[in-house]
Amino acid sequence: MFDAYLQGVQSLMAMDVLLAVAAAVPIGLVFGLLPGLSGLTALAVLMPLVYGMEPLVGLSFLLAAHAVVYTGGSVTTILLGIPGSPPNAATLMDGRPMALRGEAGRAIGAALVASALGGLVGMVALLALLPFLQPVIVHLGSPEVFALALLGISYIAIIGHGDLFKGLAAGGFGIFLSCFGYQDITGVPRFWSGSEYMLDGFRLVPLVLGLFAIPEIVDLAVSKRQQFRIMPDSVSADRLRHGMREALIHRWLLLRAAWIGVLVGLIPGVGGDTAPFVAYGSAKQWARDPARFGTGCVEGVIAPEASNNAKEGGALVPTLALGLPGSAGMVILLGGFLLLGLQPGVGFLDHHTNVAVALALVLAIANVLAVIVMLAAVPIVVRLLDVRGELLAAPLLVLVVLGAYAVDENTMDLLFVAVFGFLGYCMKSLAYSRPALLLGFVLGPTLETYLHISLQAYGASFLLRPGVMVIVLLIVGGFAWPAYRRLRLRRKGDRDAPC
Amino acid sequence: MLTTRTRKRVTLKTVSITPMRPRPNPRTLLACLGLVLTQLVWTQASISEQRPLAGERVRLVVGFGAGGGYDVYARMLAPHLEQETGATVVVENWTGGGGVVALNRLATDDTEGLTLMLVNGPSAVMGQVLGNEGVRYDVSAFTWLGRVFAEPSVVLASPVSPYRSLADLTSADLPVRWASAGKTTTAGTPALVSQALKLRSEVIIGYKGTSESALAALRGEADLVAMSATSARAQAHKNGLVPIAVVSHERISLLPEVATVAEQINLTPSQNRWIDYGITVMGLGRSLATSEHVSPERREYLRRVVKKILTDTTVIREAAAQGRPIEFGPPSELLASINRALANENEPTRGELRHVILEKFNP
C-alpha cells in the first residue's frame, strides 16, 4: 500500500500533470466567478478537451477545474451578493453583510483559507478512507440518506435569521416549489399544467439567481447610496491577511464543517449542494452567540466554504471505490474516467491506487493554488467593480442572464429568473429567509424519495438502524444542547444578579 | 522612301504573320466555354445530388444533458456525419422530461432532415405505450435512419441475497425486492420478468440511475436489479453483483456463462409474451431518427449515410476503443420492432402493460 502511495506522489510530479492542474485552476475559478455557472457546467464544457490525453493528465485537469469553482464563487458571493454557484448561497448570509460593512477583505481572506483547508481535509479524508472505502459506503443506505436530509431540513429553523415563523414559512415554501415536475417515486409529473418546461419542475440555477442576484441588482440600480460600493481599500492586503488568520483561529469550526462536507459528499444521494447549509446551520447551532449569525460574522463564512471544498474529496470516495458517483459533478467525472480508459469500481483500487492517491493530491494542490491565484486576482476584480451602483447593475444583469441561459439554453429559464427575482425582492423586503427557501427546495425531493425507499425496503424499522439513530440523536441533541446551555446561562445570570 | 516604306511594311508583315497560329473562331470559343460551363454545372449538380446536405447546418440532438452517455455517443458520431455529408454538424442538448421534450420537438420539426436525433428507443416507446403525461409524439411516425447500438437487459442478484438463479426466485417464500430508477427503466424489465415468472415482487423505485440501484443491491436493500448488459458486466466484475439471467433469445458474448430466461424456466406462451415484449423493446437501443416531414429522396440519402458510417470498420473500431460499441440495425427492422412494441394489435395489450408496469408491482 505504501508503495502505491509513493507511486501516486511520483506520478503527480510529472510536468504534464502539474501543467494540467495549473491550466485548469484559472479556468475553474472563472467558472466560479461568473454567476450561475457551476462545477457541473465546467466539467461538461471541459470534457471534450481531455480526449486523447494521458489518463492522469486528463483527470487531473477535470478534477482541478471542478474542485476550485466554489473558491471563485465565494468571491462573487461576498463582493456582489450574487452566488457564484448554487452552493455558495450559504456564504451569502454572512459574507455579504460583512462586505457591506467594509469588511470584504476579511470575509474573502477567511473564505479563501477555509476553502483551501477544506480541500485539504477532503484530500486527507480520501487518503485515509481508501483502504476502508467499500464497507463504509455499503453500510450507509437509503435510511441514512433520509436521516441526513432530515438533519439538513431541521436547519431551516436555524438559518432563518430572526423570526422563526418566517424561516419555517420560507423553508416550507421551498419544499412546495420542489414538488413541481416529475416525482421520483412514481415518475408522474405534478403541477405541470401541460407545460413541457414544468415536466422537470423549477430549475435550481434560475431559482438561485432570481432569489439572490436580482434583488441585489435592483438595489444597485435604484439606490444612489454608496452602501453597495466595495471600496478597494476594504480588500487591502492587511484585511485579507486578517481574514486568513481568522480562519486559522476558528480551526475547530473549520474542521467540523469540512468533515460535514466529507460526510455529505461520501453518501451518494444526499447531493453536495446541501453540505454548506448543513455546515452553516451546525456552526450557528453550536455557537456561543447564535444571534450574530446573519449579521456578518466570519464564522458564517468559514463554515460553508470549508464544507464546499471538502465535499469533493468525500464525493470522490464512492466514485473511485465503487464507480458510484457521489455528486452530480462526479457523474461527469466518471464519464471522464471511462473516456480515458479507466473503470473505477471495487477492483480499481487494487490496480490503480496510485491514480487515486494522485487525484487526492491534485485536490490539495488545486485548492492551494486557487487561493494564491484568487489573492492576486481579488484587487483586480474589486477595481473592476469600483464604479457607481447604477453602472454596475447593467453588466451584472447581463452576466446573470448569460449564466441562467448557459445551463440549458432555454429562454424559459430567463422568465423564471425574473419571477424568482420578484419573489426574492419581496422576501428580502419582508425579511423572509431566502436561504431557508433554498434549503427546502434542495432537500424536499431527497426527503420524499428516500423516506419512500426506506419504508419500502425496511418498513418502519429503518428508524432503528444504528446510523439513523445516531443522526436522529444528533438532530435532537443539536436542538436540546444549545437550549439547555442558554437555560443554564440564564439561571446563572439570575443567581449572580443582585437582589 | 517608298522602298523603305515597302520594306518596312513587308518586314512588319513578316513579323506579324510568322508566329501567328490559325485564329480561333469566336463562335468555337464560345461553344467551348459553354461546354465547360455546362460540364461544371452538371458536375456541381451531380455532387449536390450526391451530397444534398453539403454546406448546410445539421443539428444532432440528444434529449439529455452534456457529458452523459447519449451526448458522448452523439459527439463521437458528429465528425463522421460531417465528413460524409459535407454539412456542419452541431450536437445540441434539448433537455427536459427525460427526453420527452426533445422527442416532442422532433415530431414537429420541418427542417427537411436537417435535425437528427439520437433517440433512447426503449424509453421513447414506453412513454407512448404507457401514455405518459407530456408525450405528444408518435414514434412510429418518425423517420428512422438506423440503430446505433442495442443490448439486452440482465437480471443481477445482490451478493447478500439467497438468490442465484431464476428457480430460486420462483420458489422464494418472501416477496423479492427490485431496485430501479423508474418504472420504465430497462423497458420495465423488473415488472415484465416478475409477471412472466409469476413472482411476488416489489419494485422499489426512486434511485438515481443504474449506479445507485446497483448500490442498493450491493447493500442488501434490494434483492435484484436489472440493467443493460454492459453495465451488468461492469457491476459483476467491479462490485460482485451476481448476474442470474439474460433477458434475450440467446446468450450474449459479454456474459457467455449466464443463461437466458428461456434456458432456465419452461415458459408457457402466455408467460413468454412478457419476456418477448421486453426483448423487442430493449432491441430498439440507441437509434438515429429524424422528423416525419422529410422527402423520400432525403430520407433515403440519410439512411445511406447512416448505414455507411455505422458499418465502417474504422468507425466501429474507434468507437469500441472509447467504450462506445456500434452494432448497426437497419431502419426496416427498427420500424417492425417499434410496431410490435407499440402493442397496437399484438399481446400484451397496452392496458395489460400499463397495469403490470405501472401498478401491479409498485405498492
Nearest residue in B to A199, CA atom: B97
Confidence (pLDDT) at A328? 67
Chain B positions in Cβ-Cβ contact with residue A51 (cut-off 8 Å): 322
B124-127: long-range pairs with CB below 8 Å, 24+: B124/B99, B124/B284, B125/B281, B125/B284, B125/B338, B125/B341, B125/B342, B126/B184, B126/B187, B126/B188, B126/B281, B126/B357, B127/B99, B127/B100, B127/B103, B127/B184
Residues 6 or more apart from A396 whose CB is under 8 A from it?
A: A35, A80, A82, A213, A216, A217, A220
Q: Pick A196's closest partner by Cβ from B97, B177, B204.
A: B97
Nearest residue in B to A447, CA atom: B206
Contact B96 A332 (CB under 8 A): no
Confidence (pLDDT) at A1? 61
Contact B101 A324 (CB under 8 A): no
The pLDDT confidence band at residue A446, using thresholds 50, 70 and 90, is confident
Say whether both B66 and B159 belong to one domain: no
Inter-residue contact A294 to A300 (CB < 8 Å): yes
pLDDT at B10 over 90: no
Confidence (pLDDT) at A219? 84
The pLDDT confidence band at residue A354, using thresholds 50, 70 and 90, is confident
| CATH code of the domain containing B138 | 3.40.190.150
Confidence (pLDDT) at A152? 83
Q: Pick B96's closest partner by Cβ from A199, A268, A335.
A: A199
Nearest residue in B to A456, CA atom: B204
pLDDT at A498 over 60: no
Distance between B149 CA and the closest CA of chain A, angstroms: 18
Beta bridge partners of B228: B153
Inter-residue contact A9 to A376 (CB < 8 Å): no
- Best residue in A53, A138, A334 to probe B by mutation, most B CBs within 10 Å? A138
pLDDT at B45 over 60: no
The per-residue pLDDT for range B120-139, each reduced to its tens digit, is: 999 999 999 999 999 999 99
Confidence (pLDDT) at B346? 66
In a domain, B104, yes or no: yes
The per-residue pLDDT for range B296-320, each reduced to its tens digit, is: 999 999 999 999 999 999 999 999 8
- Best residue in B93, B210, B215 to probe A by mutation, most A CBs within 10 Å? B215
pLDDT at B9 over 60: no
Nearest residue in B to A449, CA atom: B206
Say whether both B300 and B240 belong to one domain: no
Confidence (pLDDT) at B12? 43
Confidence (pLDDT) at A462? 94
Nearest residue in B to A324, CA atom: B211
Q: Pick A408's closest partner by Cβ from B95, B202, B211.
A: B95
Say whether both B185 and B270 belong to one domain: yes
- Mean pLDDT over B75-86 rounds to 94
Q: Pick A44's closest partner by Cβ from B67, B96, B133.
A: B67
- Mean pLDDT over B168-183 rounds to 94
In a domain, B51, yes or no: no
Provide, rounded to the nearest whole percent, the portion of chain A with pLDDT above 70. 92
Confidence (pLDDT) at A421? 94
Contact A141 B219 (CB under 8 A): yes
Q: Which residue has the higher pLDDT, A252 or A343?
A: A252
Chain B positions in Cβ-Cβ contact with residue A186 (cut-off 8 Å): 183, 205, 362
Confidence (pLDDT) at A164? 79
Report the number of distinct structural domains present in chain B: 2
- Best residue in B218, B227, B357, B361 to probe A by mutation, most A CBs within 10 Å? B218
- Mean pLDDT over A199-214 rounds to 90
- Mean pLDDT over A161-187 rounds to 88
The per-residue pLDDT for range B315-335, each reduced to its tens digit, is: 999 998 888 899 999 999 999
Confidence (pLDDT) at A483? 77
Beta bridge partners of B226: B155
In a domain, B45, yes or no: no
Chain A and chain B share a number of CB contacts under 8 A equal to: 127
The per-residue pLDDT for range A450-466, each reduced to its tens digit, is: 999 999 999 999 999 99
Distance between B359 CA and the closest CA of chain A, angstroms: 10
pLDDT at A496 over 80: no
Confidence (pLDDT) at B356? 95
Q: Which residue has the higher pLDDT, A271 or B214?
A: B214
CA A228/CA A421 separation, integer angstroms:
18
Contact B182 A269 (CB under 8 A): no
Domain boundaries, chain A: 2-487
- Mean pLDDT over A411-424 rounds to 95
In a domain, B7, yes or no: no
Out of B278, B302, B330, pick the residue that ends a domain.
Answer: B278
| CATH code of the domain containing B233 | 3.40.190.10
pLDDT at B8 over 70: no
CA B316/CA A152 separation, integer angstroms:
48
Kindly list the distances between the CA atom of residue A329 and the CA atoms of A19, A206, B246, B342, in Å, as whole numbers in the listed order. Answer: 22, 19, 32, 36
Confidence (pLDDT) at A134? 67
Q: Pick A43's closest partner by Cβ from B67, B134, B218.
A: B67
The pLDDT confidence band at residue A126, using thresholds 50, 70 and 90, is confident
Nearest residue in B to A138, CA atom: B219
Say whether both B125 and B214 belong to one domain: no
pLDDT at A383 over 50: yes
Cβ neighbours of B153 (radius 10 Å): 28
Q: Inform me whether the C-beta atom of residue A43 falls under 8 Å from chain B C-beta atoms.
A: yes
Give residue B218's domain range.
153-278
pLDDT at B47 over 60: no
Q: Inform me whether the C-beta atom of residue A89 falls under 8 Å from chain B C-beta atoms.
A: no
Q: Exposed, middle or buried: residue A301 (CB in 10 Å: 0-12, 13-18, 19+)?
A: buried
The pLDDT confidence band at residue A35, using thresholds 50, 70 and 90, is confident
Out of B253, B278, B303, pick the residue that ends a domain.
Answer: B278
The per-residue pLDDT for range B13-27, each reduced to its tens digit, is: 444 444 555 566 777
The pLDDT confidence band at residue A49, using thresholds 50, 70 and 90, is confident
pLDDT at A499 over 50: no
Chain B positions in Cβ-Cβ contact with residue A328 (cut-off 8 Å): none
Out of B278, B312, B329, pick the residue that ends a domain.
Answer: B278
In a domain, B73, yes or no: yes
Say whether both B205 and B239 belong to one domain: yes
Mean pLDDT, chain B, rounded, equals 88
Distance between A197 CA and the closest CA of chain B, angstroms: 7
In a domain, B300, yes or no: yes
pLDDT at A137 over 80: no
In a domain, B219, yes or no: yes
Burial B279-307 (b: 16+ CB within 10 A, else e): bbbbbbbbbbbbbbebeeebbebbbebbe
Cell numbers at B78, concatenated: 458528429
Mean pLDDT, chain A, rounded, equals 85
In a domain, B36, yes or no: no
Q: Pick B134's closest partner by Cβ from A196, A325, A410.
A: A196
- Mean pLDDT over A402-422 rounds to 90
The pLDDT confidence band at residue A232, using thresholds 50, 70 and 90, is low
- Mean pLDDT over A234-243 rounds to 88
